[in-house]
Structure 1
């Protein structure tokens, strides 16, 4: 075997084997050492998710129950003696109960008037005393809290044991739901135990899930008499009560083996959520990892050895061919190979000796490179435009490349394609078209009047030589030259192009500056249009915008953002027209156009980000900043805003707003219930929720059926009735507490809603 092949094979196998073995050992120890911690962390995440799902169901049910119980219909009916003859009122109350089913999968609900002895459930209206579970429901009135969750394991001491709920979880809401020893009525809903179990079953593959109520009862267990499970439940409950720890983990014994227990205590109702995972299952995974790692490393070692051998042979193959080739080119110098086989010597030593003999022929290669002058000249001109070539370097190399050495004036002509829309070409043809135009320029302008034309940064650039010194005559000469180029391009390619012409200059070192002047001249197309020949001296330098201009544009941008949020496309188009007119009518330099409009683009992007999406995903490829920055005319910019930005943005926001209506309305209702004693207004809600007041008003009316002010007034009157019933506060004090500065206005509003004055209501309530 050749020395080089042997060294190559040994090195490749060693290079592949050492990392495989090292990574395999390290990965096993890391994986086996962290797996228990990962399981623990995974259980904590699963417990949190399970708790959030369960509490979401319970909170939704609680919210719907509180809304129903606090409605004027329910609070008024509780104080009345209803009979089956009150069909309309009973029907309205029943519909309210049925509507609660849309907020949770409840199996039964009761609206009970304790004082007037009637009850309504999903099936009937009947006297409360006629219910079979009357004693149990009556016992709920003695519970300490206004709202209570009754699990199957929580027994009411005052109720009949045979009537205790078995397989349902009840929510009991006192009416009115302020603290009282004896409420006027109850709202009781029953949530099937299977609803909670179904939420737990989604994570059954990650250990056994348990839920304990505030007294430590494992009320969801299918085996309530299992002593081991009961013991574990007691340990979990005791651990959660020690030092009032809200979360933690510990090891225990279950089914004859060790188990890892992870628990969380809910701040909502003090239920304990726990996960139990067998330690043996965890270590079993570690053993599996060890075998898998061993087999994987063994397979990788074999694969590395095979690939090393195959790759070494393939890598050695060209070396061997080169070695044989050099032997054929030159004989073995001074008999260096005599007495030794070709396989026992280092091939690179042989090749080095042959290359040393060939290095003397380098001059022949230089002569061959002279045939590549065209590419070298293009590269030379590109270095001129990029400022990488000094005047002394040019003087040294110009004769070598056959470039002009004498002139009176120089100028740079930069040509750009205005647009490919409406032509038979696509964006993928742009580079090819520029090279075609570059060839046409090389043929149109004689070689003695130009340097080599080049394509640079999506532009065709030509450095022109002139013997004319008169500025006016030179400008006319350059204009005619640019015009002839434009005419030929349109004649052969049917493309409209614009040409930017720099100021004339004398020193070759100013070529880069002139090139940038021609580019700046082309930027004038944003305000001047397309198909132009623009001289740099005709474009005035931009001036800074006055503060009033910025303020006006910012005001229009903010208005446009609000209109887009409201989904009013017609008004948005009108405001955008004002926005464009404000820029065009002012003395704004064309260089300021992209900067000003990028501020509006960024605000539109922010609307997408606020909805949790990305610009590319929500609006498409055409709405990116890269696409915007490629636009060169005002018409193209306006078309881009309307077609590529506004059209998909309005469609996206319309889809998002439908899914947000319900959540926004619920948040507004919650704000009313929590902050009714403050100077609450639609504008305050808009500030808290970060939405426009008009938008919030429309969403609230759509979801609740009433406007914001009416709902707020009705809820305050509900609170006023409760205060009149339960306190001895003066009417003026109640009015002030409910943010009425004028007591007379409060009395008028109360009489309009309730049908009587506050004093009459209190007197009527006390007579009952």
Structure 2
């Protein structure tokens, strides 16, 4: 009862091994993917943390440097530090301490700041006045002044970082010196996370700061390679010992910030996932074993099932297997015959799909060759043309369904052109029908034959369907995969019927010179302005009349379809913009995308005039009629809105008038009447308010604020500011920040 046949084991073992392999592969893939994802996210967090440390430290460093620089730039600095200092000058001492207190307030908490006069041999050191010895003075000058091209020095000093700045910073004569000593604990507070191993190196590769008492595991070669990568914008490196470092190079002072990544943290994060995958793998392997057992058992007993289904008597095992094989083969043969019949019935649809794919360039050359062999097309030593035809009138004007017309036209093409000289005709889109024609390379005057075919097609369609057609024919091509380009050329040819009228047969070779000519679009500006004026005044009949004249003039003066399309698109854009300014219903503009497409492909003046009038012009006029008075009253509010949203751009009343389609003088009078001041004064006062706010709330310099407020010369801004507020921007910032 429990004995299994050899067939059972031959099925069970492969099924089981395959299932186990898939399960293990899947689990390994999931683990690898998860680990990589977690590692990537973890490293991203480290990079963000490194950049945060960089920005925090750099902000404090720049603040300290700025404090000393700003003080050295004051008018009283030179007088103070080139004059001897006596212990009785308490007021002078208080002034210097006040400046140092300002630097301390902006700088790093817990730091010590000193100011030294190299010229007069005195200094405010550790809060006290001290006279320098000649030895101390010579040491300072030799180390930081004489022969030095730089004025700023950062160096490690035991458990602190020391900054030395020779002053004034922007003068070659150095008669003073400022120092700042930043203790390690202050940097610890900025770095924050003590569990992260963080190191900071200055531009001279000196270790300025490390939050842990241990030596770096990087060799000198690895450190140099890390600096080179940091200069090239890279942010991570793995050392030879397997450790990973995330780093960032400051653009401001070329300091290198480095954080060591603890790989053990990633393992801790992924540990639960690994345990879950192991448990899942074991469960899946058990499931695979059960499924493999059931499959092997079912496939090893096929005859029993056949007997149950067909009520056949039991036969020996070998005969059962042969019977199953015979039945299976017979079933496959029957299915193949059915499939062949289905393919035969569906071949026209498959051919149509093939031609559509050619026109859309969705097939590789190998796929094209396979399809050509499948459908029996002979393309060797052939020259091809693509022909696109389109009705000269809308289907709606004929009072019939478009699908019926397109299918009827497609059938006429199939009947008028021999099958040996064409691919299957197809309906290209809602308006066009396309056919690929194929002629032998030795064919004489193939274009004459094409013209004859399509004249007969036009005649047949006109007699039977009572519509007229135009045809566009591409340039000849020798490779069938070029059909995408050919159908575009055929469409381009078809657009030129605007110049030759309905029932045209246009070859691309005849109009290629026109396509290549760079012709400027001719735009009837006077008629256009009259149209916009009629829309503003709400005169529908007058606007329709101007639209008729405008469209007629455009088609009369522009012969290139591209020029016509560009000109019509400009009209649509201006009407849309004007309608929006006049408060037209936005639903009108949500439906105009087909209008843009028709404008770029316009060939009938009457058709595009009707569409523009009925779908855009009249709806805009009727929608804005009731809102006209309210719109006029809100002109001043619109100007104020533009000022409040674009005050940091180049802005003038002429620009606003052009955007709102109003005369600048008219807008000026309306605005002054509404707000009691001119537009220019309002704009300058609003920018002044913004400047006051930015001076208090931001760290932007006066020059940056002036540039944002469109002052080309910051001195003009300072003069205007002082004229209005009786103080400079710098004084205003100091007053309101304290």
TM-score, scaled to structure 1: 0.38
TM-score, scaled to structure 2: 0.39
